[in-house]
Amino acid sequence: MDIQPAYCSLPRPGLRLVNSQFPTLKPVSISGLSVYYQQLLALDQISAEFYPGRVTGIIGPNGAGKSTLLQAMLGLIPTASGTVRFGSQTLADQRHQVAYVPQRSQIDWLYPATVWDVVLMGRVQKTGWFRRFSAASRQQARAALERVGMAELRNRPIGQLSGGQQQRVFLARSLAQEADVFCFDEPFVGVDQKTETVLFEIFHELADAGKTVIVVNHDLGEAITNFDDLLLLNRSLIASGPRQQVLNQENLRHAYGGTVSFYAA
């Protein structure tokens, strides 16, 4: 079946609202993005935009290509076609403006680093490799750790923390980076309810400060109501835009098949 994106062409009501909120800030724009893994077409001609001031969830069933989309956007894997722009340049060429927290499974938790080391690493791009961190950078890292409630554990090896604590530390590292675009791949996996609440609070603080926040999330549970915008994928784009417009039975049937129940609030 040829699935047409239900909500991805311009002009759109959501766009005007967002642009009037942050008129000088630029969206991340994907156009015609396709990715193959050998013979497997993982992403088929994806076109969409992610807006500053919004927390956007990338959702879809297992194997829909959600993580692939994030990695392709950041230039971490080869693409067969398409562009990902952030203003006049590609997003991959502006990696210093992007904070990326990969899936837990992609992180080496045995790496001998303390909480403080990990957060300070967020300052490397601003400081430069092999240079001393400035007092301002250290202050930035301290403030980020405090914001996520992890200051007391700063000397702990990262591998000795719980899943939720580790996720908070990586969020602190991304905050210390002072990026414009924040990308999180499945940040809620293995975290407790309290941490999930803290993560969403901080995502919205970032959006309120004009940042673009992009979160891969495969769960259609209650937490989905915390996203402003959604991008619904199943290898091709099914719908993107404000949450209330994306979450309808027709779009979900296209993505998941059968009958899907969801929180429409």
Using CB under 6 A, list all residues that contact ligand ATP: 37, 40, 42, 60, 62-68, 218
In the bound complex, what is the minimum distance in angstroms from residue 68's beta carbon to ligand ATP? 3
In the bound complex, what is the minimum distance in angstroms from residue 229's beta carbon to ligand ATP? 18
For ligand ATP, the closer CB: 69 or 144? 69
For ligand ATP, the closer CB: 38 or 155? 38
In the bound complex, what is the minimum distance in angstroms from residue 69's beta carbon to ligand ATP? 7
For ligand ATP, the closer CB: 70 or 119? 70
* Contact indicator for 163, 191 with CB cutoff of 8 Å: yes
In the bound complex, what is the minimum distance in angstroms from residue 93's beta carbon to ligand ATP? 23
CA distance 260 to 206: 31
- Asked if the bond preceding 13 is cis, omega within 30° of 0, the reply is no
In the bound complex, what is the minimum distance in angstroms from residue 5's beta carbon to ligand ATP? 17
- What does the CA dihedral 138, 140, 146, 150 come to, rounded to 10 degrees? -60
* Contact indicator for 176, 122 with CB cutoff of 8 Å: yes
* Side-chain-side CA neighbours of residue 115 (13 Å): 23
Neighbour count for residue 43 (Cβ, 10 Å): 25
For ligand ATP, the closer CB: 74 or 124? 74
* Side-chain-side CA neighbours of residue 179 (13 Å): 28
* Contact indicator for 72, 37 with CB cutoff of 8 Å: no
For ligand ATP, the closer CB: 153 or 255? 255
For ligand ATP, the closer CB: 63 or 210? 63
CA distance 201 to 90: 29
DSSP symbol at 1:
-
CA distance 37 to 57: 24
Question: Nearest CA to 51 among 171, 216, 210?
Answer: 210
In the bound complex, what is the minimum distance in angstroms from residue 18's beta carbon to ligand ATP? 25
For ligand ATP, the closer CB: 176 or 247? 247
In the bound complex, what is the minimum distance in angstroms from residue 121's beta carbon to ligand ATP? 25
